Structure 1
Amino acid sequence: MLTGLKLNTIGKTIKHLRGFIKDRVKSDAIYLSHQEIATIYQTDLSDHPHLIEYRDLFVLACLTGLRFSDFSTLKPEDLQRDMLYKKQEKSDHWVIIPLREEAKHIFTRQFKERIPALTNPEFNRHIKTIGKLAALNRSIKFSYKKGNKSIEVIKPKYDWITSHTARRSFCTNEFLAGTPVELIMKISGHKRTKDFYKYIRISPEEAANKIKELWIKRDGMRLVQEGGGVVLISNTNNQ
């Protein structure tokens, strides 16, 4: 069966990931896995009711990839046919975002009538508190250069969470799930593949595992000429 993939599609992805592993020394942000996002969403906030709308808005952002400037200004009319139509403030470009059932539920239940007036610092402060309540306590170490010195900072994961974590989480989780990069970029608004690969946040181990998956896909296929170009055909195809 034809995959429709060009010869260099998988090769380019592997090249980007190899570069990621080689050059990944400094990290300036984290991402949350789907499980961690679910943990946050399911955290009992009955003793902290003022945090519920912050939590729900953060989860909505994790499931849509919107920046703070965009998810904090959503309006009821942005939802059309189970998709969000949003003009990005930073790039001035329109994006169309399909909604998972959870995201649609949050938007229609919690925020269909009103997005609370928020400031980014206020939002970040509350999201850290929510992450702490969700017990996202694993120590995360980031290192960076300052002059000739190598500086290391170790904090619990919840203390690294910001509004932008939601956007990075969306892009990274979709990438790890195998969603084509070009499709993720249509939603995130990234214009260059190079910028996208700098943006996602995965560990070198995750990048290595992704390369293994791509090798399996690549090695399980063979190349044929088709329509003036080269495409990949599964080796299990008897044609």
Structure 2
Amino acid sequence: MDKIYLTLDEIKAIFDLELDGTLAKIRDRFLIGCVTGLRFSDYSRFNGEHLSGNIVKILTKKVNREVVIPAHRLLLVTLERNNNILPESYTLRYYNMMLKIIGSMAGINDFVKIEEKIEGTVVNKLVRKFELITTHTARRSFATNAYLAKIPVAKIMLITGHSTETAFFRYIRISKMENAQELANHEFFR
């Protein structure tokens, strides 16, 4: 299945949802991943102790490396609306199921073309974007949005913990059209 990222507008739409209970808890944890670039194993255990001033410091589980991240304004507001006590985490499977509901509620309904292998044959299929949202979409969204904001790749990699550009660029999900639109403003094309 094709991997997606959420635009800043889509992330804001999720942030702005009026939710309570489990959906609010999952939304808020997911938002932390969208603005920190942390893996699910790290953003699911994130708490206020990892924040010092406007800096997040956390020792990552997968590679046992400390990452230091500027605190995004959405992170600070998310913490504030939870009285700096983040909700408990849920299982990965449950999270992924609920994220699709949250994405649908946020109006992330554009169609996305995916390739699916069925009995050895590749089939193109259109699905709603919210159907593809998973916990890992948060990390991919952070990397792609930071890249589109022209933050230098080396600096983004210090946050995401990628050790090679090859591994990092697997996260960047811009379409050919987004790429062309961005390049259209480059002096080479003027």
Would you say same fold, with TM above 0.5?
Answer: yes
Letter in 1 for 2:73: E
Task: Note the residue ranges of structure 2 that are not aligned, 5 or more in a row.
Answer: none
Shift of 1:198: 1.9
Across the two proteins, how many residue pairs are aligned to each other? 190
Task: Note the residue ranges of structure 1 that are not aligned, 5 or more in a row.
Answer: 1-26, 221-239
Shift of 1:134: 1.2
Task: Give 3-state SS (helix, strand or coil) of 1:137's partner.
Answer: coil
Q: Check if 1:87 corresponds to 2:59.
A: yes
Task: Give 3-state SS (helix, strand or coil) of 2:112's partner.
Answer: strand
Shift of 1:193: 0.9
User: Using a 3 Å threshold, how does the CA distance of structure 1 residues 77 and 139 change in structure 2: closer, same or farther?
Assistant: same
8 A Cα contact 2:79 2:86, kept in partner = no
> Which residue of the other structure, out of 1, 4, 15, is the alignment partner of 1:41?
15
8 A Cα contact 2:183 2:189, kept in partner = no
Shift of 1:211: 3.6
Moved over 4 A (4+): 144-148
TM-score with structure 2 setting the length: 0.90
CA distance, structure 2, for counterparts of residue 146 and residue 49 of structure 1: 38
Please, which moves more after superposition, 97-106 or 32-41?
97-106
TM-score with structure 1 setting the length: 0.72
CA distance, structure 2, for counterparts of residue 136 and residue 115 of structure 1: 24
User: Using a 3 Å threshold, how does the CA distance of structure 1 residues 207 and 167 change in structure 2: closer, same or farther?
Assistant: same
Please, which moves more after superposition, 169-178 or 193-202?
193-202
Larger radius of gyration: 1
Shift of 1:56: 1.5
Q: Check if 1:28 corresponds to 2:34.
A: no
8 A Cα contact 1:75 1:115, kept in partner = no
Give 1 or 2: higher strand fraction.
1
CA RMSD of aligned residues (A): 2.1
CA distance, structure 2, for counterparts of residue 128 and residue 77 of structure 1: 29
Shift of 1:219: 8.5
Superposition pairs of residues 1-239 of structure 1, within 5 angstroms: 28-45=2-19, 49-110=21-82, 112-144=84-116, 149-213=121-185, 215-216=186-187
